[in-house]
Structure 1
Amino acid sequence: MSNQQIIIAGGNIKPMTGEPEFTGSILVKDSKIAKIMKHSAAEVDEDEESAFREMFGLSTEEPVHIVSARGKWVLPGFIDAHCHVGIGEEIYQHEGDDLNEMTDPLTPELRAIDGIHPEDEGFRDARLGGVTAAFTCPGSANVIGGTGVVVKTAGRVVEEMILRDPAGLKIAFGENPKSVYGEQKKMPMTRMGTAALLRQALVDAQNYREKLEQGQKDLDKLPERDLGLETINLVLDKKIPLRAHAHRTDDIMTAIRIAREFDVDLVLDHCTEGHKIADVLQQYGYPAAVGPSFTNRAKVELKDKTFSTPGVLNKAGLKIAIITDHSVTPIEHLPLCAAMAVRNGLEEEDALKAITIWPAEILGVADRVGSLEVGKDADIVVWEGKPLSFEATPHTVLINGLIVKPE
């Protein structure tokens, strides 16, 4: 459906702003939330178009499409704060695998946007499942894998989908870099090697920045451009965070140790054993994108995985997001991951925050998505059934004010 005025009429609205849920209607105009009106279900006949026009001050000449939400739940679109949708395509083997450039352990110059295929079936699954935005990034084969991007899950080309680019620099600790480069008989073969390579890359970027500053005063001292070091300097300047793949407690602490040494921002991705050291992590306050937990113990680092981790970290005062790591867990199962966290101790309201406003804040896009507020992007999902219940299904999905479900 073309971008037009849409009224989400008479639903049970959970704005995810901290305000309690209420019955009301939402006017969508020009891809944004234009107005939100509170009213009781009895105040307006859902079949009476003129009543909704009057409520929002629309003339009879203005085209409007009404989506009945009576008896349904209306929430902002869900956000997956760490996945690989569009880069590691599900139905392909080599052809659609653009996840890891396993030729050099340090590849900060790589950009996820150059590997994303908008026609990946994962995007369709996401939006039909109520997931309207995601942070997608390179894999964890390299110590530094490249930059990730926050995208909407609908669009013909990547440029139509971007919310924030770059949105973080992917780094990886633990077994993955060891196994990839250990087999090649090159560094890193150990956790010490991984940390050393990362530290040296950060130091190299500091030195490069100093040379750039000198070159501004004396052009003869201006260094040749280095795209990788330029990217790392975005981290050093706190324009983007490090996104640290870390499962085990020792790897989590190494990520924190290095982030503190270089005074950079950090997001702990996976944080699988974070529940073991929640009191320690509380001292540092770095946010955690937790998951995937809907998977088997495919490697030793997942030995103690549990759906209780989000709740434990949340109670320790850490900002959390629940993630799928798609395609490890299919992205459309993000609400089921949140429901399992509730089953294992996370409050339901906090579980919803962990797939809406909190990931938006962690990803630096809360000014546009993550809650239902006037002026924000019209990424809205109308749910049949309570969103984290097993029976819940998206009835209508809007992304940028366009109805993408039903298709």
Structure 2
Amino acid sequence: MIFIKNGKVFTMTGEVIENGSILIKDGKILEVGKDLVAPLDAEVIDAEGRMVLPGFIDAHCHLGMWEEGIGFEGSDGNEMVDPVTPHLRAIDGINPMDISFKEAYMGGVTTAVTGPGSANVIGGMFVALKTYGRRIDDMIIKEPVAMKIAFGENPKRVYESQKKSPITRMATAAILRESLFKAKNYLEKKELANEDPSKMPEYDMKMEALAKVLNREIPLKAHAHRADDIFTALRIAKEFDVDITLDHCTEGHLIADYLAEEGKGAIVGPTLSNRSKFELKNLTFDTPKILGEAGVKVAITTDSPVIPLQYLPICAGLAHKSGLDEMEALKAITINAAEIVGIDDRVGSIEIGKDADIVIFDSNPIKDIDCKTYMTIINGEIVYKN
């Protein structure tokens, strides 16, 4: 058991507990509050007034898919020979021993939602995992957690060079629709085979993967920067009655009223980067504030390795500097991120029964540039201490 005392505990459920305590047992949060008594057999950590937060969460990144300091040999995020690869699983391409994982949890990021890049119209399945461990199978929170799809410039650029479709936004949308229609037809044939086994279609790994989307087991995870691409993503999701998250959402501030009506969460970023392509011309740290004020639930992403994962709190801090409320900025990298991707039953807040992913900071990580991580706890285990 671990007992944290004398901390300023930000539960992210609306409560900030001065001189608060947290009791951790068997990797879970057992108690949270004031005036708790440490069990005799507990390891006691005196936070000494430090800021205590749930571990940070990046709701969209590519951690471990592109290894640090390696070129082709460590590049495993895009299978750029087929625009439709829903059957690919991120867990088969991640190296958890890459140094980026250690840097992430040293910076307070304990959960990463990571997966394929945006080269393909359908890229494959994302995973939500802890940033500490040696074996992916032991680090998983939820797998699969989403199906990556991409709109805009990236698929066009990749396949124009190969002289194959898609080279237009029309073709990107058409290929996605065609794939979802095929998967729907595949499921209908399987349903008929319940009565007549002779009608069972031949096993199709791609269709089986997309079936998880059509059955609403996982959402589409839509790479969409420009406003028109965001609307196309929403249009297709409605056509097939599937769930969707809006990732990057660079021009979300231009259509905040519409997005509020849609009721979908926005995962915004990476914003701490240059305008490397035309669809980023409206890039601004104002986006989270404007979306939040319109009533859109906002998470903030580094899109690691575009921005290293340990700088997630800096990204939240810059959004706060641009007008996003301080507590909302913290929510954007904790509970909001967890809720948008559907893992809030495990992580995102300091609540009884949730995973004991706790970070203690010497000062405020989104306001103080020299803030240091004092301690990181993942699954009830101290994995880093400054």
What's the TM-score bracket when you normalise by the shorter of the two chains?
A: over 0.9
> Residue 370 in 1 paired to residue 348 in 2?
yes
Q: CA–CA distance in 2 between the matches of 1:85 and 1:38?
A: 37
Matched residue, 2:125: 147
Matched residue, 1:404: 383
SS in 2 for 1:95: helix
> Cα distance, 1:66 vs. partner?
1.7
| 1:205-246 Cα deviation digits (max 9, x unpaired) | 110001101111111110111111111111111110000000
Query: 72-81 or 86-95: which moved more?
Result: 86-95
Which one of 28, 44, 57 corresponds to residue 79 of structure 1?
Answer: 57
> Residue 198 in 1 paired to residue 194 in 2?
no
1:94-113 equivalences in 2 (<5 Å): 94-113=72-91
> Residue 240 in 1 paired to residue 221 in 2?
no
- Runs of 4+ residues over 6 Å off in structure 1: none
- AA of the residue aligned to 2:280: L
Which one of 34, 38, 54 corresponds to residue 38 of structure 1?
Answer: 34
Q: CA–CA distance in 1 between the matches of 2:173 and 2:345?
A: 34
SS in 2 for 1:220: helix
Q: CA–CA distance in 2 between the matches of 1:386 and 1:222?
A: 58
> Residue 280 in 1 paired to residue 258 in 2?
yes
> Residue 164 in 1 paired to residue 131 in 2?
no
Q: CA–CA distance in 2 between the matches of 1:37 and 1:140?
A: 43
1:356-395 equivalences in 2 (<5 Å): 356-389=334-367, 390-395=369-374
> Cα distance, 1:157 vs. partner?
0.3
SS in 2 for 1:397: strand
Q: CA–CA distance in 2 between the matches of 1:226 and 1:180?
A: 25
Which one of 8, 15, 20 corresponds to residue 12 of structure 1?
Answer: 8
Matched residue, 1:43: none
| 1:319-366 Cα deviation digits (max 9, x unpaired) | 110000000001000000000001111100000001000111111111
1:251-330 equivalences in 2 (<5 Å): 251-330=229-308
Which one of 76, 92, 102 corresponds to residue 114 of structure 1?
Answer: 92
Matched residue, 2:160: 182
| Structure 2 unaligned residues grouped into runs of 5+ | none
SS in 2 for 1:340: helix
Q: CA–CA distance in 1 between the matches of 2:78 and 2:16?
A: 43
- AA of the residue aligned to 1:226: D
Q: CA–CA distance in 1 between the matches of 2:361 and 2:158?
A: 43
Q: CA–CA distance in 2 between the matches of 1:230 and 1:155?
A: 29
Matched residue, 1:173: 151
Which one of 344, 353, 376 corresponds to residue 331 of structure 2?
Answer: 353
> Cα distance, 1:388 vs. partner?
1.3
> Residue 23 in 1 paired to residue 19 in 2?
yes
- AA of the residue aligned to 1:172: A
Which one of 187, 200, 203 corresponds to residue 222 of structure 1?
Answer: 200
> Cα distance, 1:20 vs. partner?
3.3
> Cα distance, 1:386 vs. partner?
1.6
Q: CA–CA distance in 2 between the matches of 1:6 and 1:211?
A: 53
Q: CA–CA distance in 2 between the matches of 1:367 and 1:81?
A: 15
> Residue 338 in 1 paired to residue 316 in 2?
yes
SS in 1 for 2:73: coil
> Cα distance, 1:24 vs. partner?
1.2
Matched residue, 1:42: none
Q: CA–CA distance in 1 between the matches of 2:384 and 2:232?
A: 43
Q: CA–CA distance in 2 between the matches of 1:238 and 1:320?
A: 22
Larger Rg: 1
Q: CA–CA distance in 2 between the matches of 1:279 and 1:27?
A: 42
> Cα distance, 1:393 vs. partner?
1.5
Q: CA–CA distance in 1 between the matches of 2:64 and 2:83?
A: 22
> Cα distance, 1:372 vs. partner?
0.5
- AA of the residue aligned to 1:35: E
Q: CA–CA distance in 2 between the matches of 1:387 and 1:297?
A: 26
| 1:136-175 Cα deviation digits (max 9, x unpaired) | 0100000000000000000110011100000000000001
| 1:228-279 Cα deviation digits (max 9, x unpaired) | 1111111111110000000011111110111111111110000001101111
Which one of 129, 138, 160 corresponds to residue 116 of structure 2?
Answer: 138
> Cα distance, 1:285 vs. partner?
1.3
Contact 2:8 2:16 in 1 (8 A): no
Q: CA–CA distance in 2 between the matches of 1:150 and 1:103?
A: 26
> Cα distance, 1:90 vs. partner?
1.6
Count, aligned residues: 385
Q: CA–CA distance in 1 between the matches of 2:76 and 2:18?
A: 44
SS in 2 for 1:337: helix
Identity of aligned residues (%): 55
